[in-house]
Structure 1
Amino acid sequence: MVDTYALYRRLAAYPRGKLLFSLVFEQAAPYFRTARPRFVELGPHRAELTIRKRRRVQNHIGTVHVIAICNGLEAAMGALAEATIPSTRRWIPKGMEVEYTAKATSDITCIAETDPADWAREGDVEIPVRVKGVRDDGTAVVQGTIRLWVTDKPSR
């Protein structure tokens, strides 16, 4: 199994390494490719990526479609989870609640964040990941929570 965070750190050290990581990461789930997420930052408890405003992700009114933004938010959440979770644990998304708060009229920055204390809890736990999509002018266009179900990996 690939250690996503180790791969990011290794590639980010090179010129255009974050772009290469983004291209590798979007292969993890085919629907990520539609949004073409480009990672800006990745570490425990925080991930940030951008989605360019281009025809493929626009809706009928010329703004970035909210589902493309949600794909970006899920990509950020997944990378954050991989960078944060202890090796003895596993995660799966349990649900997503988002609000559309403004028109997505520019490139969108997708941010996912968690609190360290959430990951320190033992047993089967639900962890909230705060997510938001932000326009170039700093206005949040989508914000919400993706809930993760985190459990111990079964012993082999």
Structure 2
Amino acid sequence: MSQVLKLWNTTTAIPVVGKRLFSVAFAQKAPYFATIRPRFTVIEPNRAELVIPKRRGVHNHIKTVHAIALCNGLEAAMGALAEATIPADKRWIPKGMDIAYTAKATSDITCIAETDPEQWTSGDPDLHVRVRGEREDGVVVIEGVIKLWVTPKAR
């Protein structure tokens, strides 16, 4: 089991504050993630979800959640998914993102990252993580893929 999944399982066992503890710890590993104040809600192999609270610090000029804040949330969800899913003998690095902004982000946004189990064992180093962000009413405001490069760990 990966360190991220172990930390998730350990912290979420703590009533009330467990998910928040994990979210703060995760953002300390890559401090830029802290700028969106992610609240992780799901971490499991092949799926991760977090919420970006709609607040002034992530607003754009029309007071919706800024496009780059949304991308930051998708990247954080993807990173948690990758760490929770990748086989122990492999490593990953992001190599690109193809994103479409599909609606205004007028509420808190749930960022979701998903893969299929066979993607991690196929031998193809190009792995596409499906990502999307949804408003509280279920409308998708951003969607696309984050492209990973997955290779064997150096020995």
* TM-score normalized with structure 2 length: 0.96
- Flag structure 2 segments of 5+ consecutive residues without an equivalent: none
| 1:128-149 C-alpha deviation (Å, 9 max, x unpaired) | 0000010000000000000110
The runs of 4+ residues in structure 1 deviating greater than 3 Å are: none
Match of 2:130 in 1: 130
Partner of 2:112: 111
Cα separation, 1, equivalents of 2:96 and 2:9: 29
> Does residue 84 of structure 2 align to residue 83 of structure 1?
yes
Query: Which residue does the alignment assign to 1:149?
Result: 149
Q: Could you tell me which residue of structure 2 aligns to residue 9 of structure 1?
A: 9
| 2:25 counterpart of 1:29 | no
* Distance in 1 of aligned mates of 2:88 and 2:12: 22
SS at match of 1:31: helix
The amino acid that maps onto 1:19 is R
| 1:130 aligned partner, one-letter code | R
SS at match of 1:13: coil
Distance in structure 2 (CA, Å) of the matches to 1:9 and 1:83: 11
**CA distance in 2 between partners of 1:58 and 1:146 (Å):** 23
* Residue aligning to 1:140: 140
**Distance (Å, rounded) in 2 between the aligned partners of 1:56 and 1:137:** 22
Look up the SS of the partner of 1:146 in the other structure: strand
Corresponding position of 1:49: 50
What one-letter code is carried by the residue in structure 2 that aligns with 1:139? Answer: V
The two structures, once aligned, show a CA RMSD in angstroms of: 1.0
Equivalences, count? 153
Residue 95 in structure 1 maps to residue 101 in structure 2? no
Question: What's the offset of the Cα at 1:28?
Answer: 1.5
Q: Percent identity at matched positions?
A: 62
How far apart are 1:96 and its partner, in Å? 0.3
TM-score, normalization by structure 1:
0.96
Q: What are the Cα deviations for residues 116-136 of structure 1, in whole angstroms up to 9, with x where unaligned?
A: 1101112x5111000001000
Question: Within 5 A, what are the aligned runs for 1:55-66?
Answer: 55-66=56-67
